[in-house]
Amino acid sequence: MRKKVKGSLSVFFAMIMVAVMGLMFTMSECIRLYELHDFATEYTEIATESVFSEYNPYLWTNYKILAIDLGYGTENIGPGMLEQKALDYCKYNSSVESGHNYARLTAETAYASKYALLTDEQGQGVVTLGVKAAKEGMAAQVIDGIQGHIDSINNIEKVPVEEKAKNGKASLQEAKTANANARQSAADDDDPNTNPEDYPEPEDVEDNPLDAFDVLKESFSKGVLSTVTEVDKLSEAEIKVENMPSHRELEKGTMVLATDENLIDKALFIDYLLTNYGYFGHDLKHDGLKYEVEYLLSGKETDTQCLASVVEQIMLVREAANYATILSSPTMVAEAEAIAAVIAGFSMNPAIVELVKYAIIAAWAYAESTLDLRLILSGGKVAPVKTVDQWTSDVWHLSQVGNVNFKAKDCGVGLSYKEFLMAFLALRFNSTLAMRALDVMENALNSTEDYKLVKMDNMLWAADIEMGYSGKEMFLSLFNSSSAKDEGDYYIVKNRYLAY
Alpha-carbon distance of 273 to 422, in angstroms, equals 9
Report the amino acid identity of residue 263: L
List 106's β-bridge partners, or say none. Answer: 470
The tens digit of pLDDT for each residue in 36-78 reads 888 889 899 999 999 999 999 999 999 999 999 999 989 999 9
Instruction: Tell me if 197 is assigned to some domain.
Output: yes
Of the candidates 398, 418, 444, which is a domain's last residue?
444
Model confidence at 480: pLDDT above 70: no
Please indicate, yes or no, whether residues 75 and 199 belong to a single structural domain of this protein: no
Of the candidates 444, 473, 490, which is a domain's last residue?
444
pTM score of the predicted model:
0.83
Please indicate, yes or no, whether residues 381 and 276 belong to a single structural domain of this protein: yes
Mean pLDDT of 424-428: 91
Please give the residue range of the domain that contains residue 43. 19-123+455-499
Please indicate, yes or no, whether residues 32 and 172 belong to a single structural domain of this protein: no
Mean pLDDT of 316-344: 93
Instruction: Tell me if 14 is assigned to some domain.
Output: no
216 Cβ neighbours under 8 A, 6+ residues apart: 227, 366, 367, 370, 398, 401, 402
The tens digit of pLDDT for each residue in 235-260 reads 989 999 999 999 999 999 999 887 76
Instruction: Tell me if 43 is assigned to some domain.
Output: yes
Please indicate, yes or no, whether residues 297 and 418 belong to a single structural domain of this protein: yes
User: Residue 483 — very low, low, confident or very high, per pLDDT cuts 50/70/90?
Assistant: very low
Instruction: Tell me if 10 is assigned to some domain.
Output: no
At residue 499, the 3 state secondary structure works out as: strand
pLDDT at 59: 96
Please indicate, yes or no, whether residues 438 and 459 belong to a single structural domain of this protein: no
Instruction: Tell me if 4 is assigned to some domain.
Output: no
The tens digit of pLDDT for each residue in 350-388 reads 889 999 999 999 999 999 999 999 999 999 999 999 999
Please indicate, yes or no, whether residues 385 and 495 belong to a single structural domain of this protein: no
pLDDT at 51: 95
Q: What is the DSSP string of 136-162?
A: TT-HHHHHHHHHHHHHHHHTSPP--HH
Residue 65: which H helix or E strand, with range? Answer: none
Model confidence at 482: pLDDT above 60: no
Q: How many domains does the chain have?
A: 2
Please indicate, yes or no, whether residues 411 and 463 belong to a single structural domain of this protein: no
The tens digit of pLDDT for each residue in 125-182 reads 999 999 988 865 455 555 566 666 666 676 677 778 888 888 888 888 888 888 788 7
Instruction: Tell me if 183 is assigned to some domain.
Output: yes
Please indicate, yes or no, whether residues 387 and 354 belong to a single structural domain of this protein: yes
Model confidence at 486: pLDDT above 80: no
At residue 254, the 3 state secondary structure works out as: coil
User: Residue 264 — very low, low, confident or very high, per pLDDT cuts 50/70/90?
Assistant: confident
pLDDT at 6: 64
Please indicate, yes or no, whether residues 195 and 102 belong to a single structural domain of this protein: no
